[in-house]
Structure 1
């Protein structure tokens, strides 16, 4: 009888993949599609052999806006999908409404492309720039601009999330809202549930994941109705404290280095987890292999208390004379300075059959099929040594992390 009970316990632990406090991830078939696309290699063989292992949730897999390859970004549905796929950390991009309440949106002024606001006349009338139809014969695109700061929190919560897209050739609102690229889908984009920042915190606690809020740059003048930039930055962290979330489970992020420095200096409990999102590639002379083009230096960032830097994928990789993908000088100097690195964003591009676009521009000559995603991911993990990566489809990263036995926590 004791042996029978023991067998049942072992079986249960194995089936739930909890023997090492792991939470099972459901990765689906897409990772295998990417692996099938790879050219024969030791990496392809190793990844293929993991097809039937138990996959687990890991902080290495970060849900970029949830799982927006197929679900409307920053919605309850997108976040829930990402957690099921094994994302150990989920992202709420934080901005504010007209009444200064914090909500999850990638941009303060993206409601016209990410929600149905234009289809609701009384709210569309409040948009900063009303919908103007295209004039195809004159080459004039359709335009609109609707911001969270145009409406109240109560009004924001009446909106439905949709895939982030717009048809700029549209001559009507209904046409404008139908711009989803063919490689994404509207199949799961019906009535996406928008979330306040606090609602996202409650959901993430329920899902058992860590949290990485990004303080978005305001598109209105600051101070906004008396709220300064530092008050805005502080309000975001205060909501975690109010919701009873330990600071060690929160990774605040910003492209504004001054925001990061503010958190480091004013909120020491969050300092070690604060992330500097590096967008310096917007500078015309930026080169990830020429240190003089990225200032401040990695050492200066570290001296200012920055612990984690997060650049786009392309800044971390380059190719050698044999066309192998290798770490860039940027990546090597960040590691030498003692900075941890998080990359963004895998699965954000369309099909990789023509150089891969923005995220692969430094290795475009060798990017010619979707299988290259797994090769790039392997270089980032094993050679660059990133501690995590944002992904629009976290299952891909979760598959890789489980196969390669990446850490559960960072």
Structure 2
């Protein structure tokens, strides 16, 4: 009898394997994920591109001698790794983890049926997905595609436009979309030109055709598997609230509930928002999560960021329980106009934040064009684009390698706790190379920058 049972069991195993019956509870999609951090060539290109300096010597020695790199919580994946991959896609999140980001961001908004999804804006589906190419969904957009128009001389009269929001469609419909590199061609005369144009030249479109969109729950499951911490950002709703009875408080609470439901500890989550009332809601109603929250701040006037009348009251927000302030990086660093040299200095805003006892996490590295051309908005306080009052001085940004000069100043002199980046390997490399002993050595060196670079 025992022999018969063994034969039947063996036959059952063979029969089961031949049929390839799927398991009753299939696991999440397979993840091809490197066991080690993979930096790629960019950090080493940047080191090679630096001017001679003690900092370059330290980083170059690290590059020559270090063989492995560890994930770093100081390296935060901004929308994943969207320099190469469509933002807030599965591929972008996996890329960020491979590049050593210890924390990865999901900007959170909601669909027509009030489900949470990862998108930078509630109304960016026309620029960040293929929705306009989908006949079944394009008609649901708040504003259908309108082509650009041109005069008889060929000059453009009106821009091409469209507006598609997550609140226009259900979660089920959202999950059928494909993520693409964010951008549109506002000179397009047809929808295909519009959807596949307008990508900034410093990004790549090599991986943009097959991005998997993510719900907030999808991001939680994936980031748990990748072993990284999570940053959900509650995005300002672009529809009137309450939305079909869904209030801003409901929105804020649902974000937290989805972490609790999936048994994610509060110390693995750093919620954030540009809306102070949301931060205060979390502090009062979900304090374990709220105490880790990032108070995001974006200047109302990006050219008038030095105007202290437009700053938050840092002592007040600290008194309400806020622990971390998160402004754009250009607000934290300035130039010394009183010197014959162009020297980076800690900005007045950064000093005020530090005096209030707030931690600083800032954004966004690798989100601009070549620093040979000044680097754009994120470097505007140090590239001469928006100089401080007084004698005008030339900027200190003239080459791609200057990114490490700025990163070092922000970490070692301003004292930031972490940096968001569109390509986290640059920050991962820096934080791995700069041991505490190296920090102390580097901090004894006073860097002076000549305007003649």
Length-normalised TM-score, structure 2: 0.82
Distance 2:89 2:303 in 1: 37
Equivalence for 1:184:
203
1:225, distance to aligned residue in structure 2 (A): 0.6
1:405, distance to aligned residue in structure 2 (A): 2.8
CA deviations 1:96-149 (Å, max 9, x no partner) are 000000000000000001000000012000000100011133421100000000
Distance 1:210 1:143 in 2: 37
Secondary structure of the residue that 2:351 maps to in structure 1? helix
Equivalence for 1:150:
168
Equivalence for 2:443:
none
Secondary structure of the residue that 1:90 maps to in structure 2? strand
Equivalence for 1:170:
188
Alpha carbons of 1:330 and 1:41: their partners in 2 closer, same or farther (altered >3 Å)? same
Equivalence for 1:109:
123
1:134 paired with 2:153, answer: no
1:154, distance to aligned residue in structure 2 (A): 0.4
Secondary structure of the residue that 2:81 maps to in structure 1? coil
Distance 2:304 2:173 in 1: 41
1:211 paired with 2:230, answer: yes
Query: Contact (CA 8 Å) 2:179, 2:210: kept in 1 or not?
Result: yes
CA deviations 1:233-286 (Å, max 9, x no partner) are 11111100001100111000000111101111111111220110011x114784
1:295, distance to aligned residue in structure 2 (A): 3.1
Equivalent residues in 2 for 1:10-409 (5 A)?
24-51=36-63, 52-53=65-66, 54-137=68-151, 138-179=156-197, 180-279=199-298, 281-283=299-301, 286-288=304-306, 290-296=307-313, 298-320=314-336, 321=339, 322-364=341-383, 365-405=395-435
Alpha carbons of 1:210 and 1:134: their partners in 2 closer, same or farther (altered >3 Å)? same
Q: Which has the higher contact order (CA 8 A, sep 6+)?
A: 1
Alpha carbons of 1:287 and 1:144: their partners in 2 closer, same or farther (altered >3 Å)? closer
Distance 1:111 1:164 in 2: 9
Pick the structure with greater CA Rg: 2
In the alignment, structure 1 segments of 5+ residues that lack a partner are 1-22
Secondary structure of the residue that 1:343 maps to in structure 2? strand
Query: Contact (CA 8 Å) 2:374, 2:398: kept in 1 or not?
Result: yes
Query: Contact (CA 8 Å) 1:285, 1:293: kept in 2 or not?
Result: no
CA deviations 1:312-344 (Å, max 9, x no partner) are 010000011321112111111211211000010
Query: Contact (CA 8 Å) 1:130, 1:144: kept in 2 or not?
Result: yes
Length-normalised TM-score, structure 1: 0.91
Distance 1:92 1:248 in 2: 16
Distance 1:237 1:406 in 2: 35
Secondary structure of the residue that 2:312 maps to in structure 1? coil
Query: Contact (CA 8 Å) 1:273, 1:308: kept in 2 or not?
Result: yes
1:351, distance to aligned residue in structure 2 (A): 1.0
Equivalence for 2:28:
none
Distance 2:343 2:174 in 1: 48
Aligned alpha-carbon RMSD (Å): 1.5
Query: Contact (CA 8 Å) 2:367, 2:422: kept in 1 or not?
Result: yes
CA deviations 1:7-33 (Å, max 9, x no partner) are xxxxxxxxxxxxxxxx84211110111
Query: Contact (CA 8 Å) 1:275, 1:307: kept in 2 or not?
Result: yes
In the alignment, structure 2 segments of 5+ residues that lack a partner are 1-34, 384-394, 438-453
Secondary structure of the residue that 2:76 maps to in structure 1? strand
Secondary structure of the residue that 1:50 maps to in structure 2? helix
